[in-house]
Amino acid sequence: MTNILIGIGIVISLYSLLAIFLTGNKKKKVIKNHSTKNNINKGELELEFFDLKNQIVDLTMEFNRTANFNTDTLDKKIMTISELNLNLDEKIVKSTKLITDMDILYRRLLEAEVNLSEKLKNISNAEEKILRIKPKTKPMIRNTIGYEDEIVEYYKRGLDIYEIAEKMGKSMGEIEFVLGLKRMR
């Protein structure tokens, strides 16, 4: 981009110099024609020629200053645009990362929602199963034996405390307490 702008500036400079040079040649011809017609002496012609030459040099210097100023201005604008482009690229990268992170979080939220709804269904199914379970009825042994005697009877048959507690619908601590009392007697 910079090379194109510099090339355009050089072409404009050359075109201007060519125009100035061609204009100067026409003035020389006009001066020659004028001098021959009006018999102007050679010294005056040389003075006019040097004046024109100095004007051309001044115009060329002014053109070069203007071209340099314009080139510097264009260079500064190009640098500013390049910096803005870099900043824009950085912001695009950051925005893309944020969008990606948001997408990941959104997917995780959807997965969590699905998992939560499945767990809630499992909980409600478990609650229904718990409500459907009927409490175990304890086996009935004759009413003539008290439940302490029943516990001792099971123990004598070889059942452990856990099995007795389960059959009787009592806690293990209660079974141990009854067996401890019977041993003491």
What are 6-45's pLDDT values in tens digits?
778 787 777 777 777 676 555 455 555 554 555 557 878 8
Please, are residues 168 and 151 in contact by the beta-carbon 8 Å criterion? yes
In this predicted structure, which of 1-10, 66-75, 93-102 has the lowest mean pLDDT? 1-10
The number of domains in the chain is: 2
Q: The tokens of 161 are what?
A: 């405390």
Q: Is residue 125 domain-resident? A: no
pTM summary value: 0.37
- Cα(59)–Cα(48) distance, rounded to whole angstroms? 16
Domain final position from 42, 58, 85: 85
Q: The tokens of 102 are what?
A: 């948001």
What confidence tier does 182 reach under pLDDT thresholds 50, 70, 90? Answer: confident
Statement to judge: residues 81 and 152 lie in one domain: no
Q: Is residue 131 domain-resident? A: no
